[in-house]
Each structure stands twice: as C-alpha cells, then as structure tokens.
Amino acid sequence: MSDNPTTSNRPQSPDATAAYAERLLRRAGAEHVPSGILHWSYVAPYRITSFDGVEWTAVCDQPTWQQLHLELHAGVKREGAIASPDAVGEAVAAYHARGEVPIAIADARYHTPRRRFVAQVMAAARAAQALPEPDDAAAEEILEERSAFFASALLPNRSHGFELLPHVHFGLTVAFVVPRALFLGDAAAEPAGLEVDFDDGEGFRPVEFDTRVEVAYTDELPRHVRLRVRTAHGPRSAAFRFQLAAATAPTPNQTWRLTSIQPYAGYQANGTAWVFYGAGHTAVVNPVIFADGFGEGATSLDDVWDRLNQQSLATTLLARGLDLVILGYDSKSAFLQANAFLAVACIQKAIQERVGSAPLVVGGGSMGGLVTRYALAWMEKNGRDAQTAKYLSFDTPHDGAWVPTILQYFAYYFEGRSDSARRLAALVRSGAAQQLLWGWVPSWDYSGPITTNALRTVFYAELRALGWFPSRPRKYGVANGTGNGTGNGVPAGANAFDWSGNACVGARPNIEPNPGTDQYLGEMWLGGYWNKYYATNVPAFDSCPGGTNGFFGTAGDGAAASGYGWTTIHYRTTCFVPTVSALSMQRMGDPGTNPSGLPSGLDEYTTCTSNLGHVSVTPEVKQWIVDRFAPATADEADATPAEAALAL
C-alpha cells in the first residue's frame, strides 16, 4: 500500500437553473438591500418567516436560534448589520465563565426573494429549464423586506469528541441574564419594557438588561420560556425551549484553577481540576488524575463524570480509598502540548496537596491519555519527578484517530449554510484535531495527501524526542474495540446517509471503501455546483475494530435539522479509535489487523468482546481497572460473593 494516501475532489459543471438564483443574489449589492441583510436558503417557505415576533406561533430552541442567526449573517450586505457567530460565541463565553446563562435576542430587518420568484426557480430546476441571465433591475424586483424576531438561552456547545451533544443545563437553579450586547440587529431605538416568563410558575416579571436573575426549578421537565419587549418596530414576543437536567457530578471537595507551566506556540492553557476525596479521607492521600478528552469549548464536569462513572466506576474507586482529580481544560481543542503543560501543573499541584507519599496514578480518556502521556514524558526528560507509579489510557488514539474524510469535506462544504456543519468544521480545523487525526483534509476542495499534516508530524517528533512513552510508570490501557480483529459490521463503501434536499442542495456520503485507486467516497451539491470525492490507498477505517463514534449520525441529523428536504440515515456509527491505535501498535496502515500477540507500547492492556462506543465502560472493563488500581482489601477478599457485589 502507498505510504501517501490521498483524496481527490472533482467538481462537476453547475446546473444552470439551480445556479441562477445564486448568481442573481450575489449581484444584489447594498443598494438593492436597504436592510443590509439578504436572506436566501434553498427551500421555501423559509423557516425564519415563522419568527416575526408578532404572534406566539413559533417556539425556538438553541440549534434553531444558531441556524437562523447564521443564515442572517451569511447574507450581510452592510457591515455591522448583525454580529457574526464568532462574535456572539466570544460574548456568550464570558457569561458561561461566570456561571450565567445568557438569553440572546435577534431583532432584524432583512430582504428575501419573493415566494413567486423562488417557486419559479425551483420549478425550472425540476424541469431542467433555463432562465434568462439576471440583471441589476431584476434584483430589486424579486426582493421584499421582512422582519425577524427570535430568542433563546445560549448554553455551551458540547461534543463528545466530534459528536455534537444536546444543549442541556446541569442543575435546577439557573442564573439567567439578558445582555444588551446580545440584543442583535437594528439599533434605531433602545428596546424597553422587557418582561420574561421563565416557566417557573411565577408568570411574566420585569427584567432589566444585564441583570442576573436566579430561577429555581423543581424538576427536569423542559421549560417553555416566553419574553416580550418594545422595540423600534413595535411590541415583539418570542418563546424558546430550555432543557434542564439535575447535576450528575457530586460536589467536589476542592476545586483547583490551574495555568499551564509554560505556553505552547504562544498559547497559555488554563483549566480546572475537580478533586473528590476517597472514603475516609479529609485531604488528598491517594491521587488519581484523570484528564478529559477532545471536544468543543471548555470541559463540563458533569459530562466527564457521566463517562467516568459508567458502571459506577468512579464511585467504586472513591469507595476503595482513591482520591479522584478530574482535569478539565478551558479549551478542549487547543494544542495537545498546551494542555499537556496544564497537566504538568495539575500533577505538581497534586503532589503539593497530597498528605503522605503514596505514588500518583495519572492518565485520561481519549485525548486525555495523550495529554498525560506527553506530560509525564516531558517531566522525565526535564528532570521533574512526577512521582507517578501507574499510567492509564482509556481508548486513547496513541497512533491516531479517524474521522471519515468525506465528513470532513461535508463540514467544510456546508459550514456557511448549516450551524452544525460550522461547528464540526471548527472542530476539524482545531489544533488538537489536526494532531489527533491520522487523515486530515484542510478544505472542501482539497486534493492531495491526507497524512502529511504538519502539526501532527511535529507532535509525534516531539514525543519521540521525549522518549515516546514515560519510562517510570507502569503503562495500562483500555481499548473499546475488539482484540481479535473483528470489525464493527459497517460495510465498506456503502451509502451512510442520503440527504436529498432538492436540485440546489444535498449530499450522499459513503462509508470509507476498501483501499484502492480512485475509490468513490460520495458527493454533495450546493447552489448547483456538484462535487464528487475519491480516495486512493486509504484503509477502510470506518469498518475496522475499535471504539466507535456517531459521526454519520451527527452529520445526518444536522442535514435533517436544516429543513432542506429529507434525510435517510443508513449507518450512524463508524470506528473512531482503532484498536491498534488504542494499544499503540504502530499498525495504522492496516487498522483491521488482529492485534493479538502484536507488540504494544503499553505494559498491560484489555480489549472488549465487541466494538463499543468510544470511552465506554463495561462491567469487565470496570473490574479490570479496579483490580489494577484499587484492589480489594483482605477483608473484602474474604467476603461472600453477595457481600463483594455490594462492595462494588
């Protein structure tokens, strides 16, 4: 097999009718769009027309708010007409850092093609008929002005790796705030008379902008929040759904705010370590540091606890007298080295806080295993005693992770039209993703090698210079894939999902095919431009043994939620971390190989009897970890089977 796997992109000639509207609307300048915003999507009637602020007819939620806001910003013809998604994200992050939930309101005038024009274009597209070349006069004739008014609470975007997660507020008490800076759109007059019904049984109440309002709910039922306000366009109303969940993590005994010991590539990482004392402890005695993995934004303690406490693993370790230190990052997608230097700070803090001299256990799930591997190796190389006896990696992509290249293309291709695609594209572009992914493509139209990514090359060169693995601790590993070469049953080359929007938009991505020359990956089209993708000498990663992730499901769900046509999802999951990677066997050129008996970078490891979700804990995996890191005491060993079961 070639050492230089590639992908190729072959654009087809655009459909003349479908491209007509795109050419016309691109020609529409600010002089044709007095509102400063030209809204144009590929289906009619547009979803945004339901949100005019006049009637209580449409209920928003966060994905819808983000999608509609993206569509408005994509059509900006006058600078400052509405803030960008990135600017909103930066503003929202400041409220999240204070433990507040901001409510964002969009109040905008926009221009959009008249329904008659859209119907004509779509009818012509279906009949493959041509339309006359557009001119400037036509741009003014086909557009009409409308208003949009919609609101939503904006919670942190969350993902498990590259799999987007629902927006949920953990905890039944919510600190809301309605920032004036997040009242977006026209600024002809200051909004006034804001009232909000938080669906807590208290009805509407006056709320001042930029003022924190704490609301206590009694259960986890979804909330239907309503607001009304006087704007430059008259009285306006909006409603949105808000999902609550009881906090899953217990209250930490300590919380450490940490800063990395040094910056990397100019970036100074910050983070939080949540400390939980083991049974009978009033301080840190037997520290076990578990680092979070890759994803969007900052670490959520509840998310990590949910994964770590599968099968009651975390509570069992605590009951056995281990003190858990969960390391989270302010940016889960920052360079691995930057967060590794944060892990060094966490190790040093644990040593400083520890009572006694018990050696540390250090490791993490997914990317967290690589972050702590680098940190321990760096400390050894630089003469800093980590006082660590055991290292644990849990389905860590030691030799690389896999996200289907066709979905990387998909995210880039639709990021200007779909908010979920925009989020996925940002994740794929991030520094950590470039370092983690065995195959990475930089853009929707890329044709070339996928394994020569500079950031990944540098990371592994640095690891080799540090000794590859730390030598002092005994190294343990868990793989969520099978240990006998059995794949996940996803057929190579099959269609993953079929998104048939209409003649103007759609996609048909395939499962990664078996290796060969110009193997078909799938196709997608937008605005009449049709692109087909091929791979040469890329292994069939999607089907191989390993921890799985719902990449195709996430992309297909995003396509369905866009409102463009219909989506049929055939396969939701693919391999994310091949077994050979989780066991550091240097076999990524043949990820379907049977790992049994092959040399590993780990001293001891376990696999699963079937290919499971990435970072899944089974009863067998739990027992394997407990036996090696928190073995039973003599009294527990003498207990009856029933008593032993209760102890776990």
608 within 8 A of 480, measured Cβ to Cβ: yes
What pLDDT, on the 0 to 100 scale, is given for residue 70?
A: 92
Least confident of 28-32, 257-261, 298-302: 28-32
100 within 8 A of 177, measured Cβ to Cβ: yes
What pLDDT, on the 0 to 100 scale, is given for residue 257?
A: 98
Amino acid at 143: L
What pLDDT, on the 0 to 100 scale, is given for residue 2?
A: 44
Least confident of 120-129, 248-257, 598-607: 120-129
pLDDT: which is higher, 24 or 249: 249
Helix (H, G, I), strand (E, B) or coil at 11: strand
The CATH class that applies to domain 254-394+618-643 reads: alpha beta
Say which residues have a Cβ less than 8 Å from residue 393's Cβ, sequence separation at least 6. 363, 364, 369, 370, 372, 373, 475, 476, 477, 478, 582, 602
Q: pLDDT tens-digit profile of 46-76?
A: 788 889 888 666 899 999 999 999 999 988 8
Residues forming a β-bridge with 287 = 323
Q: With a cut of 70, say whether residue 361 has pLDDT above it.
A: yes
Q: With a cut of 50, say whether residue 128 has pLDDT above it.
A: yes
What token pair was written down for 588? 């990524």
Q: Is 14 exposed, middle or buried (0-12, 13-18, 19+ CB in 10 A)?
A: middle
**Banded model confidence at residue 41, pLDDT cuts 50, 70, 90:** low
Q: What is the DSSP string of 14-28?
A: PPHHHHHHHHHHHH-
Residues forming a β-bridge with 216 = 173
What pLDDT, on the 0 to 100 scale, is given for residue 458?
A: 97
pLDDT: which is higher, 306 or 648: 306
Instruction: Map 487-521 to HEC letters.
Output: CCCCCCCCECEEEEEECCEEEEEECCCCCCCCEEE
What pLDDT, on the 0 to 100 scale, is given for residue 545?
A: 97
Q: Where are the domains of the chain?
A: 14-245, 254-394+618-643, 401-458+489-577
Question: Which of 113, 181, 175, 185 minimizes the C-alpha distance to 144?
Answer: 113
pLDDT: which is higher, 294 or 526: 294
Q: With a cut of 60, say whether residue 44 has pLDDT above it.
A: no
Least confident of 497-506, 511-520, 537-546: 497-506
Q: pLDDT tens-digit profile of 193-215?
A: 999 999 999 999 999 999 999 99
Alpha-carbon torsion (204, 210, 211, 212), positive or negative: positive
H-only helix segments in 354-418: 367-381, 405-414
Least confident of 155-164, 177-186, 525-534: 525-534
Average pLDDT estimate for 391-399: 98
Q: What share of the chain in percent tops pLDDT 90?
A: 72
Q: pLDDT tens-digit profile of 624-644?
A: 999 999 987 655 544 444 444
Q: Is the pTM of this model over 0.85?
A: yes
**Banded model confidence at residue 538, pLDDT cuts 50, 70, 90:** very high
561 within 8 A of 553, measured Cβ to Cβ: no
What pLDDT, on the 0 to 100 scale, is given for residue 501?
A: 66
Q: With a cut of 90, say whether residue 347 has pLDDT above it.
A: yes
What token pair was written down for 433? 């993703």
Whole-Å CA distances, 412 to 321, 422, 438, 443, 516: 48, 7, 18, 6, 25
Q: What share of the chain in percent tops pLDDT 70?
A: 88
CATH 2.60.40.10 fits 14-245, yes or no: yes
Average pLDDT estimate for 219-232: 93
Q: pLDDT tens-digit profile of 457-468?
A: 999 999 999 999
Question: Which of 581, 374, 369, 387 minimizes the C-alpha distance to 476?
Answer: 369
Mean residue pLDDT across the chain: 89
Distance, CA of 189 to CA of 146 (rounded, Å): 18
**Banded model confidence at residue 1, pLDDT cuts 50, 70, 90:** very low
What token pair was written down for 66? 């983000």
Q: With a cut of 80, say whether residue 148 has pLDDT above it.
A: yes
Q: Could you say which DSSP state residue 47 is in?
A: G
What pLDDT, on the 0 to 100 scale, is given for residue 114?
A: 78
